Structure 1
Amino acid sequence: MCDVVSCANDGACFANRADGYICLCPLGFKGALCEESFSLSSPLFNETMFSYAVIQWPQSSQSYLSFMEFEVTFWPSAPSGVLLYSDDAGSKDFLAINLVDKYVEFRFDCGSGEAVIRSEEQISLDSWHELRVSRTAKSGILHVDNQRPIGGIAEGAFTQINCSSALYIGGVPEYEKTKRTAGVMKPFTGIIQKVCNRVQ
């Protein structure tokens, strides 16, 4: 089907069944053939305004997760701040992605001990960066831009995380109520363009 279809504006055609197709459009374009342009804005977070965004987890609040993966595209304007955070009020469980003096940190606790995974190199301010974190049971991996992936393992025996709170992006409503070992100290300043997640 894609041999007779032409997606506009550098869209890519993919066959989604024997007699069908879909055009995957670049940012800023939509429509069956990526023919429609639209204005796209990215949320700007500001430390002095204590701004943050809230999204709900796709599964129920009492789900215990063995696997999770997040991809984040961001533009930092300050060297430190929280990118993503969620926790469980009734246990030690949490997950956090922080920027700490221009290093990216992925922290999580399955309830019996934390893992702290830190990028090898600092990132630059005022430029776009991509990160991906994944956690399977007690093992976590952090990828930042083209840096070497870094792995780590949480202490203790527990292998699942329950996050009963919402997923906070760019900050949290009350910093004094975050888990002490999560390293969540201050809001993020800059742009967070994309957050994608998969959980099981």
Structure 2
Amino acid sequence: MVLGKGPETLYAGQKLNDNEWHTVRVVRRGKSLKLTVDDDVAEGTMVGDHTRLEFHNIETGIMTEKRYISVVPSSFIGHLQSLMFNGLLYIDLCKNGDIDYCELKARFGLRNIIADPVTFKTKSSYLSLATLQAYTSMHLFFQFKTTSADGFILFNSGDGNDFIAVELVKGYIHYVFDLGNGPNVIKGNSDRPLNDNQWHNVVITRDNSNTHSLKVDTKVVTQVINGAKNLDLKGDLYMAGLAQGMYSNLPKLVASRDGFQGCLASVDLNGRLPDLINDALHRSGQIERGCEDRRQHFEEEEEEEEEEEEEEEEEEEEEKKGVLKFLIYYFLR
């Protein structure tokens, strides 16, 4: 926030990219600021003598004003609801046409958002990325879709016996790791096998107290590990498989002997959002952008046609990233 003397920045919340709803509140009283994200509160005071905030527009999902920040964040991909500014619900005003001007490049309604999908077309296809940085804590998120019951999704070896692996075994997610005390495995408790050609969400976390959590869709398994707490990884992070000669040297409890055949998307590696194609240090086999399923594609087209009939003013073709941009020309004095 800038009141004429320079920006004031507050930080609150953690692990917000978990595909769950979070509540954000920003309150300003003169030069006092308060930011609340869920139950996390941060407070600050603006510098200088100014107390009046002047603004010309409200933008959500994208930032076009770049003067006050050194690094421009990428556009928001996800869902927003109940966006209230000074008592006005701008998303509702835009949807109902009760605002003078609203530029809309998003869709209303809840959807499963799939970001930057990549297809691994064979079990021998894989790629490698820079080392996963997860020494003291970890938060991983990805989405997958496959018809194969087994396959290696992620692996990074480390110093000594340290390693992390994520695999699909008989249709269920296994999270296998060793922090130096011997290997452990946490198995997902999904109601049914996940090789159903549908998208599934996976969240894997480890905090400073050495509590490990595996969440697959809505099912969560948590385990506290005693002993060593640090994960000292080295070398490349392998995605969707390994070089064939590496499978024979895998640690105990790792079951996979083939790669993952299917689609991966929305990969978040402890806050790093890699482009699986462009950021790959090495690629092998048949790997393509996108995840085309003809049956699903036709269903989505029919759904889009119905929505376009119901919302006559909606554009025929939406941009890839969900963006809500509101332009309201007035001053707060």
- Asked if 1:184 is matched to 2:256, the reply is yes
Partners of 1:58 and 1:187 in 2: CA distance: 19
**Aligned length in residues:** 178
- The answer as to whether partners of 2:176 and 2:184 remain within 8 angstroms in 1 is yes
Q: Which has the larger radius of gyration?
A: 2
State the one-letter code of the partner of 1:190.
G
Q: Cα–Cα, structure 1 residues 17 and 47, in superposed 2: closer, same or farther, change >3 Å? A: closer
What is the aligned counterpart of 1:151 among 222, 229, 244?
A: 222
- Asked if 1:76 is matched to 2:151, the reply is no
Q: Cα–Cα, structure 1 residues 116 and 13, in superposed 2: closer, same or farther, change >3 Å? A: same
What is the aligned counterpart of 1:115 among 179, 184, 191?
A: 184
Map Cα deviations across residues 111-167 of structure 1 (whole Å, 9 max, x no partner): 1122211111232421111100011253210011122x101234x621111111211
Shift, 1:102, TM fit: 0.9
Shift, 1:65, TM fit: 0.6
SS, match of residue 92 in structure 1: coil
Map Cα deviations across residues 79-119 of structure 1 (whole Å, 9 max, x no partner): 1111111112x411111111111111111110112221111
- Asked if 1:46 is matched to 2:121, the reply is yes
**2:197 matched residue in structure 1:** 126
Q: Cα–Cα, structure 1 residues 13 and 98, in superposed 2: closer, same or farther, change >3 Å? A: same
Partners of 1:55 and 1:115 in 2: CA distance: 24
- Asked if 1:94 is matched to 2:163, the reply is yes
- The answer as to whether partners of 1:16 and 1:22 remain within 8 angstroms in 2 is no
- The answer as to whether partners of 1:15 and 1:22 remain within 8 angstroms in 2 is no
**2:48 matched residue in structure 1:** none
Query: Which segments of 5 or more consecutive residues in structure 2 lack a partner in the other structure?
Result: 1-53, 79-102, 106-114, 272-333
> Percent identity among equivalent residues?
19
Taking structure 2 as the reference length, what is the TM-score of the superposition? Answer: 0.46
* Alpha-carbon RMSD: 3.4
- The structure in which a higher percent of residues are helix is 2
Partners of 1:101 and 1:126 in 2: CA distance: 14
Q: Cα–Cα, structure 1 residues 46 and 22, in superposed 2: closer, same or farther, change >3 Å? A: closer
Partners of 2:164 and 2:55 in 1: CA distance: 42
Query: Which segments of 5 or more consecutive residues in structure 1 lack a partner in the other structure?
Result: 28-32
Partners of 1:66 and 1:139 in 2: CA distance: 11
**2:93 matched residue in structure 1:** none
State the one-letter code of the partner of 2:268.
C
- The answer as to whether partners of 1:2 and 1:15 remain within 8 angstroms in 2 is no
- The structure in which a higher percent of residues are strand is 1
Partners of 2:166 and 2:214 in 1: CA distance: 10
Superposed structure 1 runs of 4+ greater than 2 Å apart: 1-7, 12-27, 40-43, 136-139, 180-185
Partners of 1:73 and 1:83 in 2: CA distance: 11
- The answer as to whether partners of 2:169 and 2:256 remain within 8 angstroms in 1 is no
